[in-house]
């Protein structure tokens, strides 16, 4: 028997003003699309901005449904849209912001497990890491250099 330890690393920034102009611009686009989320049930709004290596930015917001499981998270709306429109482009950065209509959301909100699995699929596909930044409605921003920090020991195509 042996113990296996997996550690992950994130950077924490006090606010978006500590980020580069490029990331601030992407975060501002994620904030704007977040405000247009279709979230009548949870009142929890999420916005995602993806920067591709062809310079294009693809945005997404969560889309809910009266049949709750039929809705989709912002990250997957954005990443599937990017995969559909630019199937050969690599995803360089994914920027996420979340807010609630009910309470202040000031802590960084990480992507859910299902979204992590979807992001991992694209990172494996392109074989280069995706930088991920996530924030609440404002405040601290966490950065990961790869989905591997958010989803260690992930399942992927090599097991199939
Ligand atoms: N949501 C996202 O869009 N991304 C996540 O990573 C977590 C949750 C959405 C799904 C649902 O519309 C609402 O937030 C509450 O779970």
What is the DSSP secondary-structure string of 49-69? EEEETTS-EEEEE-B--SSGG
Is residue 56 in a domain? yes
Residue indicated by tokens 């591709």 = 52
The CATH number for 132's domain is 3.40.140.10
* Ligand 1: centre distance to CA 46 (Å): 6
CA triple 59-140-39, angle to 5 deg:
40
Is residue 1 in a domain? no
User: Which residues touch 24 (CB under 8 Å, ≥6 apart)?
Assistant: 16, 17
| 123: annotated active-site residue | no
How would you write the pLDDT of the chain (160 residues) with one tens digit per residue?
999 999 999 999 999 999 999 999 999 999 999 999 999 999 999 999 999 999 999 999 999 999 999 999 999 999 999 999 999 999 999 999 999 999 999 999 999 999 999 999 999 999 999 999 999 999 999 999 999 999 999 999 999 9
Is residue 6 in a domain? no
Q: Could you list the residue range(s) of the whole structural domain that residue 104 is in?
A: 17-151
Cα–Cα distance for residue pair 133/29, rounded to 1 Å: 13
Pocket lining: 44 vs ligand 1, CB cutoff 6 Å:
yes
Of all protein residues, the one whose alpha carbon is nearest to atom 2 of ligand 1 is 73
| Count of domains observed in the chain | 1
* Ligand 1: centre distance to CA 75 (Å): 9
């Amino acid at each position: 028997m042996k113990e296996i330890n997996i550690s992950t690393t994130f950077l924490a920034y006090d606010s978006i003003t500590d980020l580069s102009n490029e990331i601030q611009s992407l975060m501002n686009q994620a904030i704007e699309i977040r405000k247009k989320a279709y979230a009548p049930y949870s009142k929890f709004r999420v916005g995602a901005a993806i920067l591709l290596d062809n310079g294009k930015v693809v945005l997404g917001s969560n889309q809910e449904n009266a049949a709750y499981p039929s809705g989709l998270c912002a990250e997957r709306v954005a990443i599937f849209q990017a995969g559909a429109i630019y199937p050969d482009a690599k995803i360089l950065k994914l920027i996420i912001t979340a807010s609630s209509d009910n309470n202040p959301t000031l802590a960084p909100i990480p992507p859910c497990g299902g979204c992590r699995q979807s992001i991992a699929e694209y990172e494996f596909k392109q074989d280069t890491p995706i930088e991920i930044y996530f924030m609440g409605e404002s405040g601290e921003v966490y950065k990961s250099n790869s989905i591997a920090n958010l989803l260690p020991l992930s399942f992927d195509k090599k097991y199939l």
